[in-house]
Amino acid sequence: MSPSERPPAAPGAARAKVNLYLRILGRRDDGYHRLDSLVAFADLADRLSAEPAASLSLSVDGTYAGQCGAQADNLVWRAAQLLADHARIPPAVKLSLTKNIPVAAGLGGGSADAAAALRLLAANWGVPLDRPELYALALRLGADVPVCLAGRASLIGGIGEELRPAPALPRAGLVLANPGQALATAAVFASLGGKFQPATEKLSAMPDAAALAAQMRARGNGLTEAALRLCPAIGAVLAQLRALPGALMAQMSGSGASCFALFADAAAARQAAAALSARHPGWFVHGGELIG
What percentage of the chain carries pLDDT values higher than 90?
Answer: 86
Q: Does the annotation mark 17 as catalytic?
A: yes
Q: Given a cut of 50, is residue 5 above it in pLDDT?
A: no
What residue ranges of the chain are covered by domains with CATH 3.30.230.10?
Answer: 12-165
Write down the pLDDT at residue 21.
Answer: 98
Exactly one of 36, 43, 46, 144 is catalytic; name it. 144
Report d(CA 59, CA 107) in Å as an integer: 21
Q: Given a cut of 80, is residue 2 above it in pLDDT?
A: no
Q: Which residue has the higher pLDDT, 1 or 40?
A: 40
Task: Report the chain's mean pLDDT, rounded to a whole number.
Answer: 93
Q: Report DSSP letters for the chain, one per residue.
A: --GGGSPPPPTTEEEEEEEEEEEEEEE-TTSPEEEEEEEEEEEEEEEEEEEE-SS-EEEEESTTGGGS--GGG-HHHHHHHHHHHHHTS---EEEEEE--SPTTSSS-HHHHHHHHHHHHHHHHHT--TT-HHHHHHHHHH-TTHHHHHHTS-EEEETTTTEEEEPPPPPP-EEEEEE-S----HHHHHHHHTT---PPPPPP----SHHHHHHHHHHH-BTTHHHHHHH-THHHHHHHHHHTSTT--EEEE-TTSS-EEEEESSHHHHHHHHHHHHHH-TTSEEEEEEEE-
CATH code reported for the domain at 173-291:
3.30.70.890
Report d(CA 11, CA 74) in Å as an integer: 19
Exactly one of 17, 43, 46, 99 is catalytic; name it. 17
Listed in sequence order, the residues at least 6 apart from 127 whose beta carbon sits closer than 8 Å to its beta carbon are 83, 86, 87, 121, 134
Question: Looking at 39-48, 130-139, 159-168, 280-289, which range is the least confident one?
Answer: 130-139
Q: Does the annotation mark 61 as catalytic?
A: no
Tell me the whole-structure pTM to 2 decimals: 0.92
Per-residue pLDDT band for 9 (boundaries 50, 70, 90) equals: very low
Task: State the average pLDDT over residues 274-287.
Answer: 98
What residue ranges of the chain are covered by domains with CATH 3.30.70.890?
Answer: 173-291
CATH top-level class of 12-165: alpha beta
**How do residues 90-116 score in pLDDT, each as one tens digit?**
999 999 999 999 998 999 999 999 999
